[in-house]
Amino acid sequence: GAVVSQHPSWVICKSGTSVKIECRSLDFQATTMFWYRQFPKQSLMLMATSNEGSKATYEQGVEKDKFLINHASLTLSTLTVTSAHPEDSSFYICSAGGLRTGELFFGEGSRLTVL
Amino acid sequence: QKEVEQNSGPLSVPEGAIASLNCTYSDRGSQSFFWYRQYSGKSPELIMSIYSNGDKEDGRFTAQLNKASQYVSLLIRDSQPSDSATYLCAVNFRSASKIIFGSGTRLSIRP
């Protein structure tokens, strides 16, 4: 299957700082990428759909000014958690794939801990 | 009603038995359905995809789809301890162009 790479895998930061997470499609071009968040023992919650060359589409309840998404190329989308707080601590996972088939390929995930 | 609904479990099945996982969805127009397996602390990995009514078999896994009942299931035959994980049902909500996940079912295979 296709390969999606995420970086960093782990990040610990102080409250109030910003953290950037990168998501790369390594062997295919992804016009659309999806960002999910997963709290412990809960399911994946779609945060936003990242569209290459245009603004991201955010799900209801997700603050677009706090979770900045940039999809500047066909192989890279970034999620920046601005002014992070402890409640933002979570497992962030990006994915890419085709809505035609619906099959998603996931990055390895990024575990964010805000102190 | 949740968009994609699963029993959270845990579901405990003896080794060698059949594990049956169920999922219902709300969007009648959905066309693509997926089962993902997620080990603790890891990203999900695709197990099965199904697009047509009926059964689809792949090794020890069988996915079953009934669009009229808005129901999709996953059967795991000859369950192994390595099958212990959380299984996520995912549905491509074409009406909204997004893939929605159920809350997942924790499966435990006891030796």
| Residue-wise DSSP of A57-110 | EEPTT--TTTEEEEEEETTEEEEEE-S--GGG-EEEEEEEE-TTT--EEE---E
Closest CA to A8 of A23, A29, A18: A23
| Percent share of chain A, pLDDT over 70 | 94
| Contacts with B104 (C-beta within 8 Å, 6 or more apart), sequence order | A43, B6, B8, B38, B86, B87, B88, B89
For residue A4, what are its two tokens?
């999606």
Q: Which of B41, B92, B101 sits opposite A43 (nearest CB)?
A: B101
**Per-residue DSSP letters for B29-69?**
T--EEEEEEE-TTS--EEEEEE-SSEEEEETTEEEEEETTT
Local mean pLDDT, 10-residue blocks, chain B (111 residues): 84 96 92 92 91 95 96 97 95 76 94 89
**Is A43 within 8 Å of B43 when comparing Cβ atoms?**
no
Average pLDDT, chain A: 90
**Is B99 within 8 Å of A101 when comparing Cβ atoms?**
no
**Is B42 within 8 Å of A109 when comparing Cβ atoms?**
yes
Top-ranked range on mean pLDDT: pick from A30-39, A87-96, A100-109: A87-96
* Contacts with A36 from chain B: Cβ below 8 Å: 101
| Chain A residue with the nearest C-alpha to that of B30 | A102
**Is A93 within 8 Å of B43 when comparing Cβ atoms?**
yes
Per-residue pLDDT band for A102 (boundaries 50, 70, 90) equals low
Tell me the nearest-neighbour CA distance from A108 into chain B, angstroms.
5
Q: Give the pLDDT of residue A67.
A: 97
Residue A1, chain B, CB below 8 Å: the answer is yes
- pLDDT, one tens digit per residue, over A15-42 is 999 999 999 988 878 888 999 999 988 8
For residue A91, what are its two tokens?
């497992």
* Contacts with B102 from chain A: Cβ below 8 Å: 43
| Percent share of chain A, pLDDT over 90 | 65
Q: Could you give the strand order of the β-sheet that contains A76-81, starting from the edge strand earlier in sequence? A: A4-7, A19-25, A76-81, A67-73
Buried (b) or exposed (e) across A62-85, using 16+ Cβ within 10 A? beeeebbbebeeebbbbbebeebe
- State the residue for tokens 């603004």: A55
Tell me the nearest-neighbour CA distance from A105 into chain B, angstroms.
8
Query: For residue B110, with 0-12 CB atoms within 10 Å meaning exposed, 13-18 middle and 19 or more buried, which class applies?
Result: exposed
* Contacts with B97 from chain A: Cβ below 8 Å: 49, 99
* Contacts with B101 from chain A: Cβ below 8 Å: 36, 43-46
User: A interface mutation test: which of B98, B100, B103 has the most A CBs within 10 A?
Assistant: B98
Q: Is-contact B101 B2, C-beta < 8 A?
A: no
Dist CA A18 CA B86 (whole Å): 31
Tell me the longest C-alpha to C-alpha distance in chain B.
43
Dist CA B49 CA B65 (whole Å): 10
Q: Give the pLDDT of residue A107.
A: 92
Residue A108, chain B, CB below 8 Å: the answer is yes
Question: CA separation (Å) from A72 to A50, A55, B57?
Answer: 10, 10, 40
Per-residue pLDDT band for A56 (boundaries 50, 70, 90) equals very high
**Is A43 within 8 Å of B104 when comparing Cβ atoms?**
yes
Angle at A41 between CA A15 and CA A113, to 5 degrees: 15
